[in-house]
Structure 1
């Protein structure tokens, strides 16, 4: 019985060893991948060892080294007399290489234990991913609200060179209260983007989105808004506060406010009303014919303009057309900088119309609204959702006077825009809510960029 159990244990160990061996070999070969900046430093270290040995030999006038070499030579001659050189030579080489490999593996294992105590990922995989992301294209995204944070959540898996330009026109909710009571620029959209780009996204998102339910003055405020407000007070302005927060949160990319001016939106409606304030515009439930901001022509943040000038790819949207996307473009320097760039530029159109902003809007209506606000064409293509939501979702949204954004192909083509048609939608089966799928959206956008960039 004992012998049988022993045999089973040996068989299990043999199978486990066989399974581990290819995995270990695969990991070793990953270290030979180009661009890790590891092999060159190992070779440099080996060269240093040789030079040090040579210098020591010169310093002591070679006497002990010469004796040592003679002893080694005698030993090698003795070995070759017993085992032929064509056998002993390769064996010694293999043994030496195994020692080097073992030593390097143990060294890297020790480093991995310190840098990655959880051991969820191999260090080589982290390095490869880090190099890949840092070699990704320089992407500039323009927008705000949940749409932009959804996009960023997918984009960060393709590139670390992301600059998110975010509107600071929000005046509702926690952001609006902080704006009125403390005088800070609204941090809400910035908070969402920082959480989306953070390495520990799930934990940071839960923390930043946490809303206090009790306490004088705290009820309704999100932790992220208070955190950014405190950082703003410590560093002196919102730009520095975002930079400091990005370091704390290990953000992949950067988030920049479109302007540091205290911008307030206004809109003229078809019935003649003039509505002041971002939250009031949507609540007015009218048809918007013109939108602007006070002060007029606010200055752009210099780093925003620099990011646009250096961009390889510019993405506008998704997000509320008049209260998230267009407010960024009401900064004339930003619109002008985007228009001058000859890189791939695409607008991600919303899946559903939005009550109070875009009731009855088609894809071409969205495009024309942006062109009218900026006075010029800013993008070459538009990404449109291809699949219609389920009947349950359509009924749910119809009750709120919302419908899928209709694609009017001919009008869009006449406007000079290429159409990228793809299914980038997620639908909650329980609630019927429709949202962009962050990973699918990023995949389609990168596929289009690669194809366009290679032409």
Structure 2
């Protein structure tokens, strides 16, 4: 099927990030990540950027169609904004993180989720909109009224969308997601909405949060498995689901598509039902194995056809002005690769001006990097990244191992019972440096987590001021 490429959206011109150059060489850092997992490493990335006097750009995917974002997408369309909101709020300076200060109160406000019960959630939402909720304490009147204006706008839009066949479900809704959607609808620009929330959260000026695609429309992904089946939609890929085939399922002579077409929402008639369902409630703790390994991820239009959208131009600009890129921890196929397969990204990453291309390896495998009988090795992670970048450049199929170093130059990893296997000699033969860290146990006493100090030292030794030998005397937490 021929690739279909949507037209690039026009957006208001905002000041471009100035290129950070020293001695004619770019010094900026670009981090590819999703939301929650990489949030634990934000302070590490901040320290590394500050020590190297670098700007820091986070590239965040917008294909998530699960959780409360699924209801916003169903009713209003637009990108999956949960990971963008999560990162912006996480970047609020931690020196005033307690809720008795305005910054702490704003962090708590935008991170707040309404109750699971839909009716209780709706009533609590009205208390928030009407400024009667305790969340407003410690937020100054000017900021409170500015925030409320966009919450009132999204509330009005929700009321206008109510139909007998379609009522907005406030269950577990994120207040930050509702605000960001209200700002996007008001301005007509996702980029402007991000700028507004960044300003309110006082995100440092040297840090940018960039959606992988700058768009006012929904973009979904599909995964192809080794057994030939496909799964449509990010939530279905990440969480237990039966592989979705394209043919419609009929019940009593009525197809699923026809049933969904009777509901007034933001989806085009004939859109795949799996892209239109509410995925408000799902479990993250119980992950069933996929029936086969994921081999490839691609973008699809609402009817399931493959498309090849271009990356946000600001992402390409950030890559061209960077000396180092980091593939952070997180879901490989739904947090990292959706940003890499976009047109323009692979070519920019392959540039020789980017000296360090660092993969921080997950401390364990998950549903996307299984099944448990044949878990991904570290080399499998690198191969998936290389293939995604090659596909961004229009090259489909297996990537020769000799080209892996074009996209990954360094591998940072932990070593433990459940960590992906790392063959150091194999990586050495490919010209990829491996750096082993000693981790710490998770809060539940299970698994390993990256120690911030050790990871900071490893990144400093790689990205930093060049004198790696001098650093080794104090790097007792890592094995280079």
- Name the TM-score class by shorter chain: 0.5 to 0.7
Give, in angstroms, the shift of residue 165 of structure 1.
Answer: 0.6
1:352 to 356, 364, 369: 364
SS of the aligned residue for 1:156 comes to: helix
Maintained 8 Å contact 2:333/2:368: no
Maintained 8 Å contact 1:153/1:439: no
Q: How does 1:74-153 map to 2 (within 5 A)?
A: 137-153=27-43
TM-score under structure 2 length normalisation = 0.59
Of stretches 431-440 and 274-283 in structure 1, the one that deviates more from structure 2 is: 431-440
1:225 to 174, 177, 192: 177
SS of the aligned residue for 1:141 comes to: strand
Distance in 1 between the 2:188 and 2:454 partners?
Answer: 39
Are 2:408 and 1:379 aligned? Answer: yes
Give, in angstroms, the shift of residue 198 of structure 1.
Answer: 1.7
Task: Report the CA distance shift for 1:333/1:407 in structure 2 as closer, same or farther (over 3 A).
Answer: same
Instruction: State the match for 1:449 in structure 2.
Output: 463
Distance in 1 between the 2:175 and 2:467 partners?
Answer: 41
2:227 to 271, 280, 285: 271
Task: Report the CA distance shift for 1:134/1:255 in structure 2 as closer, same or farther (over 3 A).
Answer: farther
Give, in angstroms, the shift of residue 154 of structure 1.
Answer: 2.2
Higher relative contact order structure (alpha carbons within 8 Å, sequence separation ≥ 6): 2
Instruction: State the match for 2:399 in structure 1.
Output: none
1:209 to 98, 105, 111: 111
Maintained 8 Å contact 1:339/1:379: no
Instruction: State the match for 2:398 in structure 1.
Output: none
Distance in 2 between the 1:256 and 1:453 partners?
Answer: 32
TM-score under structure 1 length normalisation = 0.62
Task: Report the CA distance shift for 1:210/1:420 in structure 2 as closer, same or farther (over 3 A).
Answer: same
Are 2:419 and 1:404 aligned? Answer: yes
Give CA deviations for 1:138-175 in whole Å, capped at 9, x if unaligned: 21111213233222232223436211010111111112
Distance in 1 between the 2:309 and 2:121 partners?
Answer: 37
SS of the aligned residue for 2:49 comes to: coil
Give, in angstroms, the shift of residue 330 of structure 1.
Answer: 1.1
SS of the aligned residue for 1:331 comes to: coil
SS of the aligned residue for 2:308 comes to: coil
Distance in 2 between the 1:314 and 1:356 partners?
Answer: 23
Give, in angstroms, the shift of residue 439 of structure 1.
Answer: 4.9
2:330 to 319, 337, 342: 319
Distance in 2 between the 1:408 and 1:280 partners?
Answer: 32
Maintained 8 Å contact 1:309/1:341: no
Instruction: State the match for 2:257 in structure 1.
Output: none
Q: How does 1:264-343 map to 2 (within 5 A)?
A: 264-282=220-238, 283-284=240-241, 285-286=290-291, 287-295=293-301, 296-342=307-353, 343=355
Maintained 8 Å contact 1:140/1:165: yes
Instruction: State the match for 2:277 in structure 1.
Output: none
Q: Which has the larger radius of gyration?
A: 1
Task: Report the CA distance shift for 1:446/1:454 in structure 2 as closer, same or farther (over 3 A).
Answer: closer
Task: Report the CA distance shift for 1:289/1:363 in structure 2 as closer, same or farther (over 3 A).
Answer: same
Task: Report the CA distance shift for 1:134/1:195 in structure 2 as closer, same or farther (over 3 A).
Answer: farther
Give CA deviations for 1:311-343 in whole Å, capped at 9, x if unaligned: 132111221111101110010211211111422
* Long gaps (5+) in structure 2: 1-19, 98-103, 123-168, 242-289, 302-306, 391-402, 470-480
Give, in angstroms, the shift of residue 137 of structure 1.
Answer: 4.6
Instruction: State the match for 1:432 in structure 2.
Output: 446
Distance in 2 between the 1:453 and 1:340 partners?
Answer: 24
Maintained 8 Å contact 2:462/2:468: no
Task: Report the CA distance shift for 1:330/1:134 in structure 2 as closer, same or farther (over 3 A).
Answer: closer
SS of the aligned residue for 1:382 comes to: strand
SS of the aligned residue for 1:159 comes to: helix
Give, in angstroms, the shift of residue 346 of structure 1.
Answer: 0.8
Maintained 8 Å contact 1:150/1:436: no
Q: How many residues align?
A: 308
Task: Report the CA distance shift for 1:369/1:430 in structure 2 as closer, same or farther (over 3 A).
Answer: closer
Task: Report the CA distance shift for 1:266/1:452 in structure 2 as closer, same or farther (over 3 A).
Answer: farther
Instruction: State the match for 2:84 in structure 1.
Output: 190
1:241 to 169, 193, 199: 193
Task: Report the CA distance shift for 1:205/1:405 in structure 2 as closer, same or farther (over 3 A).
Answer: farther
Maintained 8 Å contact 1:313/1:344: yes
Report which of the two has the higher share of helix.
1
Task: Report the CA distance shift for 1:356/1:230 in structure 2 as closer, same or farther (over 3 A).
Answer: same
Distance in 2 between the 1:441 and 1:162 partners?
Answer: 17
